[in-house]
Structure formats: C-alpha cells, structure tokens
Chain A
Amino acid sequence: MFSRAYRTAVAVPPLVWVAVFLLVPYMLMFCYSFWSVSESGTIVHSWNLDNYHELLTKPVYWETLLRSMWIAARVMFFSMLLGYPLAYFLSFHAGGRKDLYYQLVIIPLWVSYLVRAYAWKTILGTDGVLNTLLQYVHLTSHPLDFLLYSPFAVVLTLTHIYTPFTFLPIYASLEHIPRNLVEASHDLGATPAQTFWRVIFPLSIPGVLAGATFAFVLSLGDFLAPLLLGGPSGIMISNIVVSLFGAAYNWPLGAAISLCMLALVLGLILFSERLEKKWSFS
C-alpha cells in the first residue's frame, strides 16, 4: 500500500492540469454563453438565454449542425467500411506480416493533419492530379469542379484522416478474441462465414462502437477540412464557432454553440460506453 502523501503527490499534477486547462475554461465558456455583446462590441455581463434562443430560431445554426452531423455520419460509415476489413485482415489473416502492416496503417498518423488535408486539395482541385489524369485519359473534356470545395471533399478527407482511428479500437478488440473460440466454432460445424457473424463480429462490437464514436465525434468538431476543402456548401458547425470567436466577435453565441456541441458529444460518448459495456464479456 502507498502512503497518503505519495498518493497525493501523484494525483495533484494531473488534477491541477485538468482544473486549469479544462474545468476553468469550460466554466468560463458556460458563463459566456449566458452573456451578450453590446452595440459597441463589449461583453455585457447580464444573465439571459438570448443566445440559446437565437440558436433555436435561426435556421443557419441548426441547419449547419445537421449538415455537420450528416458529414460526420458519412465519415463514420466509410471509415468503418475501410477500417473493419483492414483490422479483420490484419488480426486474422496477416500471419507473420502483422506487425509490418500495423506500422503501415499507423504511419499516416505521424504526418501532420494539415499536410494530409492540403494533399487532398492538390489531388481534387481543378488543376489537380485527379482532374489532370481524367482529362489525359479523355474521360472528361473539362475539369470536374464538384470534386473540391464540396461536402464530398470534406467526407473524403476526413475519412482518410480518421480511418486509422476506427481501425485501432477494432483491431484491439479483434486481437482480444481468444482464437480457440474460432476453433470451437469450426469444431461445432460452423463455416468461416458463419463463425465470423456468430462469434467474431459480436465479440468485436465494443471496438466497433469505440471506433464509430471516434470517427463521428472527431469529424463533427472538425473545422480545418471544411475550411480548406469544404467551400460554401461544406461549411461545418465548428467553422461558425471559429468565426464567432474571431471576425464576428460574438463570444457569447460561440460559447453557446460550443456548449451545445459539448452536450451532444458527451451524450454520444456516454451512450456508446453503455453499449460497449453491454457487449463486453472479458
């Protein structure tokens, strides 16, 4: 057993960190969301619900939020579609190359997010790699302009960026499945396909939920991909928050949006954690 002094000494630095850099800013945000801005551009410290009222009544906010959720849902779907088979292949069929493939999946995470987003800009742009190629092989006579500056570009980029985040928890949960369960299933007459759907997939659900939550939550709050590749139709809710805190100088409204998103994300995480518990059997 450790002494009380030791336990305190270990606990204090992270607690201070969380308090100073997480709890205090959130408290400030919480307060701001009930304040307002005067005509002259100063913060009025009078408590009211005007900001929340504005969020509910002005369609631009909740429409953007819905669009953001729709983009996040698509990113979640496509990164699961890519991440699950990849994780399954690595865990069950990669044999001795497992570690090599694992590193290959992880390496893109070492590259700056900004670099990867810009890379898509050069690929999708009107003079980009893809359009040049399409014109060169005469599949199109003039550059396709829907590729860049569209929700499509945002979904594509975010899927590329967040697939490793869905891959990791799924891979971990697949690695945790005792291989003798797979053997037992074959032994009891189940073909590999039956074994996958009846044993492997149900046991990987906690990883699937964690991966899906990562992809959804991270893309929902993203502002760089829509900023660089989204164009006017690809604007997401975080872009609005950024502009409210910046050019528009309306911190109280920005704080209110942020708090709504925080509540949404926390709710999602709690919900997915509850589901994960229901499906975990270790």
Chain B
Amino acid sequence: MATTSEPAVATRSQPGSASFLSIRSVAKHFGKNVVLRDISLEIAEGEFLTILGESGSGKTTLLRILAGFEPSTAGEVWMSGERLDTQPPYRRRVNTVFQSYALFPHMTVERNVGYGLAIAKRPAAEIESRVSEALAKVKMSAYAKSKPSKISGGQQQRIALARALVNRPRLLLLDEPLSALDANLRRQMQVELKALQREVGITFIFVTHDQEEAMVMSDRIALLRSGELEQVASPREIYNRPATSYTAQFIGHTNLLHADIRRGTASCGALQWSTSLPDGAALFSLRPECIRPASSAPAATGSPEHPTIRFRARLRDQAFHGATDLLRVESDGGLIFTIRTASRDFPNSEASLEFEFSAADAIPVRATSLTSISMEHV
C-alpha cells in the first residue's frame, strides 16, 4: 500500500490534473516470482524522486520498466499524457545513467557523449557544441579525446551523466550511479548531482539502497519493500512521520515501543502516555534523538497534551559518533532503548540514570514485517 502523504502531490494525482509521469498499478512477475505488486506513483515535472529499497525490493526492476528494458506484467506508465510503456526504449524521451556506467569502450569520451545526438542525426556543428557544453557541465572537457578505459570510475560516472543529459531527456533515470564511488567522492557527487538537477530542471528518478543518500538528494522518497510501495513522502516527512515500523527502521534508527492501549492511555511496560488511538495493541516509533537525559528540574513535565515521560535506566553500551553518542540503555522495566545525545561522558555505567521523552515524539506506526532489520540494529 502506498501512503502518499505530501498534500501537494496528492492534488496532482487527482483525476483530471494529470501529473508529468504516472505509474499506474504496475506489476512485474518473473514466472511465479512477484517482483513488483501494484505500484502506483505520480511524479511531478522537475521533481527529484528517489526509489529507495533494499536489494531485492524491486527498485531496479521498476526503473528498467520505466526505461523500457523490461516489459511490465500489468499496469500502465504515462508521461505527459502519452502512453510510455508500450514504446520501445529507443522511442522514449527517457535516458538512463547505468550503475556500471555502460560507456561504449570503443568510442572516445566525446563520441560517447555525442552518441544520442548522432543517432538523432543532428548537424555535426550542433553535436560538437552540445557535447562540449555537456562535458563542461560535468567538468570533463579535458578528457574529450580519452577512451573510457583510461579514466577513473568517478570520471566515467560524469561521462555517463553527460551522455544522458546532452539529449535533453524529459526524464532521467539513475540506477545507483554513485554506488561504485568511494565515500568522499560519493558525498561530493550527491551535492553536485542535486545542484545539476536544479539547474537543468529535468525530472530525476534516482534508485538507491542508501537511505542517507536518499535523504540528502530527494524531493520525495518512495520506499519499496518486497515489491510494494511502503511510503512515499518528502525526506523530512518520511523521517519524522514514518507510516510503518519498516519505514521507521529503514530510514534512520528508531526504538519501537509495543504498547497496549486502554481508554486513551498507551502503556509500554511501566511507561504510560495518553493517545487518541482506539483500544488494542499498537506500535510506536521513538527516534533515539527524541530521548534525552532528564533535566534536574522536576517541574519540566511538558504541556498537558504532550506530557514528558520519564524513566530510569542503566547504561549498557556507549558508542562515540563524533558530535553525538549512541547509548544503549536498559530501563528498570527491562526495555532496551537506543538514545542519541550530545557527546559526553557518563560517570558510572552501573549508576541508574534518568531519561525523558515527549509523548508527542512517540509516532504510532503500522506494523509491517521486518525482514532484515531487527530492533537491535543500530
């Protein structure tokens, strides 16, 4: 089930106001193996959308359906009012940046970039000027005459980007283009890629398994889980308001509180807070940075509708992460919490410490099965 929670997009997806790219109930089966199940997604012109998911979630398959390399089993894809999925890849105004770059080894950088324009039979002078413009944009003008095997991975990545962008596609698909780069270059390319997208105004659909990358770059993130859309929202929304326990755990770290609700009060062990949810079992996500060491003033109990909940716990583990520390504590009731605090030393690990969080930060989430991420995962 898709949980489209950004209002601006919700209006676009209404019938009548056609969005730029419309993915309608797309499914993909390989024999009996269901890779994608009923994917519906509306994408606005000029949007940077990231399809995020673990390996095997179907994200690359979805991208390949959009590019035309893979037929879908069911559903339709429309781009600005035209059916896209019935056209062969070479008729789509869609270009792809491949994970392994897929540069033609027998052509120079220049001819790689000019390939699409040469195929489109553009005049030689236009090809030359657009190629050199594209190479300048990715800062690779000096390598125009090189063969792809003579340049580094990061440089190949830029050429792959230039080769796609030079054709001025309506839609650019990027299949984990940064995954082969080392961490520093990767962060730099994230920023550059985002700036480039703003500059050219082309709709980007970016596939990655890296949630940090998705957060840094995207206007919206579409989180895929086993072939289904788990949640589609802006990075802030998806982090602050995860709809499901899977989202909460996949994007950032979280504490999942299994609570029991009775007459407007949620109880999890000894902890209690008021809620508007109906009676029964419920799951809450509480981000590690929402829990803090309790202030000494006992009066700080928060506002009446968002009370502060306090609990005593023992420090089990402390990991230094630079600006912050990640603590693992065990409450007196035996619950394990992960807490992110500003770095500081705790005097005695055996001493009982007091922590607090605001009830407003405990976000109710739908329970979705957790395949590879456990509560312990930090």
- Whether A and B are associated in the same complex: the answer reads yes
Chain A residues within CB distance 8 Å of chain B: 178, 180-181, 183-191, 194, 198-199, 202-203, 279, 281-282
- A-side contacts of B115, CB under 8 Å: 185, 188, 190, 198
Q: By the criterion CB–CB under 8 Å, are A188 and B105 in contact?
A: no
The size bracket of the interface on B is 20 to 34
Q: Is B67 an interface residue (CB 8 A)?
A: yes
**Total contacts A to B, CB within 8 angstroms?**
66
Cβ-defined contact, A189 with B119, below 8 A: yes
- With A187-B95, A189-B167 in contact, is A180–B90 under 8 Å at CB? no
C-beta contact mask, B54-81 vs A, less than 8 Å → 1, else 0? 0000000000000111000000000000
Residues of A within 8 A of B96 (CB): 183-184, 187
A160 to B163, CA, bound (A): 44
A190 CA / B116 CA spacing, docked (Å): 7
**A189 CA to B114 CA, complexed, in Å:** 12
Q: How far is the CB of B328 from chain A (nearest CB, A)?
A: 43
**What separation, in Å, do the CA atoms of A104 and B192 have in the docked complex?**
53
Q: A184-B104, A202-B106, A281-B149 are in contact. Are A189 and B120 (CB under 8 A)?
A: yes
Residues of chain B with a CB closer than 8 A to A189's CB: 90-91, 116, 119-120, 167
Residue in B closest to A282 when the chains form the complex, CB atoms: B105
CB-defined contacts of B100 to chain A, threshold 8 Å: 178, 180
Top-5 shortest CB links A-B: A281-B105, A188-B116, A184-B102, A180-B102, A186-B89
Tell me whether B241 is interfacial, beta carbon within 8 Å.
no
Contact A186 B90 (CB under 8 A): yes
Instruction: State the B residues within 8 Å of A (CB).
Output: 67-69, 88-91, 94-96, 98, 100, 102-106, 115-116, 119-120, 147, 149, 163-164, 167
B90 contacts A203, CB within 8 Å? Answer: no
Known: A202-B106, A203-B105. A186 touches B98 (CB 8 A): no
* Chain A residue with Cβ nearest B147: A281
Please, how many angstroms separate the alpha-carbon atoms of A180 and B105 in the complex?
12
Of the candidates B88, B95, B106, the one whose C-beta lies within 8 Å of that of A281 is: B106
Specify the main secondary structure of chain A where it touches its partner.
helix
Evaluate contact between A186 and B88: CB separation under 8 angstroms: yes
A39–B106 Cα gap in the complex (Å)? 61
**What A residues does B149 contact at CB under 8 A?**
281
Is A188 a contact of B88 with CB atoms below 8 Å? no
Least CB distance from A16 to B in Å reads 39
Which B residues are in CB contact (< 8 Å) with A181? 102, 104-105
List the B residue with the shortest CB-CB distance to A184.
B102
Chain B residue contacts of A282, Cβ below 8 A: 105
A12: shortest Cβ distance to chain B, in Å?
A: 38
Chain B residue nearest to A187 (CB atoms) is B96
Chain A residue nearest to B115 (CB atoms) is A188
What is the distance, in angstroms, from A280's C-beta to the closest C-beta of chain B?
Answer: 9
Most chain A CB atoms below 10 A, which of B67, B94, B98, B102: B102
In the bound complex, how far is the Cα of B112 from the Cα of A202, in angstroms? 14
Known: A186-B69, A189-B120. 9 other contacts (CB 8 A): A183-B96, A187-B69, A187-B96, A188-B95, A188-B115, A188-B119, A189-B116, A199-B104, A281-B105
